Amino acid sequence: MSVNILAVGDVTGSSGLKFLSAKLKTLKMLKNIAFTVVNGENASGVGVTPSQCEDIFCAGADVITLGNHTWGRREIEPYLDDCPYILRPANYAPQVAGRGFGVFDAPFGSVLVMNLIGRCGMAFGPDNPFFAADRILKNAEPRVILVDMHAEATSEKAAMAYYLDGRVSAVWGTHTHVQTSDGRVLPGGAGFITDLGMTGPVDSVIGITPELSVSTFLGNPPRRYVQAPGPAKLEGAIFEIDENTGRCLSVEAIRVTD
């Protein structure tokens, strides 16, 4: 038998969170989704609060992953220790709050979810995500293993997918907020898409009011980014997984709009 796993791209701002709350449960029902992972690191624009995490869970997420804006709202730190269903990148320094992977119960059995962050183009120095993945997988027992690779470079995301192919069920990229058209099953049976896209304002520059982003690229003095108004969208991908082998059978990129 196979099961459908849904991965949802970065929830961005209040409109993204509101749209997720309005659409996710219906999408899960229509697509017969057995397990859902949502990247929530931009729910506050930069970062996410504990109350916003609770809203994401209420919307239908089983697990929340984060990324480079994990520490954007510092009140999240104790929540990361207290709530086992939210993950920050596993290759962050070991002394920081939270956990980078977890094994969770699902209708089809246990599922391991891993959150990694890339190093190419990022303005800080996390541990090597490839070695971090090896350490986590060394004693992994679940057949179904899912990886959120939060990274800037498409090459780093693809390299990670091929590196883990044959050892995990699915690898998806987050962070760039632009959905890619390359969803596919790799030779070893791992499903892969370079980036899930974004859950947030449609008429925006990766969630930001276009005028502010344009002003930045023109070289004007920096201004605080403001979430774009208007209609929203939900983007992500559905991975059909053979629950007996953990291999991916198909990948479908999805987009929900009003």
The residues that are catalytic are 69
d(Cα 24, Cα 30) in Å, to the nearest integer? 10
Q: First CA to last CA across the chain, in angstroms?
A: 33
- Identify residue 210 by its one-letter amino acid code: P
Cα pseudo-dihedral 84, 102, 184, 25, rounded to 10: -30
Quick one: tokens of 116?
């990694």
What is the residue whose two structure tokens read 């749209």? Answer: 19
With a CB cutoff of 8 Å and minimum separation 6, the contacts of 210 are 203, 204, 228
Q: Which of 22, 23, 5, 63 is nearest to 39 (CA)?
A: 63
Distance (Å, whole) CA 222 – CA 69: 19
Strand duo 10-11 + 248-257: pairing: unpaired
Cα separation values, 188 from 28, 164, 167, 191, Å = 27, 9, 8, 9
Q: Which amino acid is at 218?
A: L
